Amino acid sequence: MRVPMLYNDNKKGLQLMNISSPISNQPPMRELNVSNDLLDDRQALNAAWERDGYWFFRDVLDQASVSRLRGVYMDLLDELGVTQKDDAEALYSGKSLEGFPFRMEPLVEREIWRPFVQEPPIHAFFQRLLDDQPFWIPTVEYRATPPTAERKPSRLDYLHQDGFYNVGIPFLICWIPLSVISDEIGGLVLAEGMHKGPYLHDVNTPPLFPIPNGSVPDHAWRRTTYRPGDVLLMHINTPHSGLANYSDRFRLSMDIRIMGASGHTPIIGTLTALSSSSVSVVGDDGRTGTFVVDTQTYCRGIDGKKVPLDEIPQRMKAGDSAIVAFSDGHATLIRPPH
């Protein structure tokens, strides 16, 4: 087995070092259930979703489309000098990662998800899966996660349930691997069947309300070796996390949110007015609305933290881009698109 070359963060910069310790700081993982044989059986798909809280499909996304998306990542990583763009394995070059855009801001600005989901075979797959026109929520994470030498007590990097932070938007989380992601490289792990329970987040620890350690039993954890062409869709309340990358290469993936266009979709557009008691928005699709804001509204800042009610007018303002979810005249969520 090849010993990975990883980086160590210190005040002098990031330096290569050898790591050969076994992966011992993560719970045991069982394989994900594969749903390919359920694709055109709506009843069976619904039953699997209700039972597991996710669908995992092998090799269903058009390889050429995925390759083009991956190529945009690799062009950026090559420009930064941390990989070579023609390297199929995205091996880390060892260059210091000081100043590295861990949130992949250049890709965020370019909104590279849009041409990807508009590719005819990609659109056709999701239309087939949803039995509806896809409605994409522009909350996208572009991940080019470098290897790390750090060994924290837990390998889970951020255990959470999206529904806790996105009240009122019944989207599906859509996670797309852009490279082979083995256990050593990490990738996404989820807690099977735990979407039906209560939120695990500690409401007494604002502003991020983390999930306490030990909230997920070991038997619930699932993952697999992911490959380009695969796609994992999760229930909004399924607990999940990334795993720290213990390999010698970058982990490449994109996650985005999707729902059927005929469902109760949020308004995505521009705020026209905002106070601690109401919000008005005009949508990119022409929809408009004014909604009550109160203590039940989750106003989410760009850092993911909940904004206190009295600080909302200072943190967001008319003219800002926003996603507004609503129910019965009440704003359940106000958040920036990214």
Domain closes at, from 260, 276, 301:
260
CA angle 316, 318, 322 (to 5 degrees): 60
- Rounded Cα distance between 205 and 210, Å, is 7
Tokens 């800002």 found at = 320
**Same domain for 166 and 301?**
no
pLDDT tens profile 72-90: 999 999 999 999 988 999 9
| Paired tokens of 55 | 């669908």
In a domain, 14, yes or no: no
pLDDT value, residue 43 = 98
CATH number at residue 150: 2.60.120.620
| Residue type, position 275, single letter | S
pLDDT value, residue 23 = 67
**Same domain for 48 and 178?**
yes
**Same domain for 188 and 303?**
no
**Same domain for 295 and 256?**
no
- Rounded Cα distance between 151 and 155, Å, is 7
Output the furthest CA–CA distance in the chain (Å, rounded): 60
What predicted TM-score, i.e. pTM, was given to this entire model? 0.90
- Rounded Cα distance between 24 and 21, Å, is 8
| Paired tokens of 189 | 């792990």
Provide the 8-state DSSP code for 194: G
What residues make up the domain containing 273?
267-335
Q: What is the mean pLDDT of residues 129-143?
A: 97
**Same domain for 227 and 283?**
no
Region for 66 from its dihedrals, namely left if φ exceeds 0, alpha if ψ lies in -120 to 50, beta otherwise: alpha
**Same domain for 154 and 58?**
yes
Residue 186 has pLDDT above 70, yes or no: yes
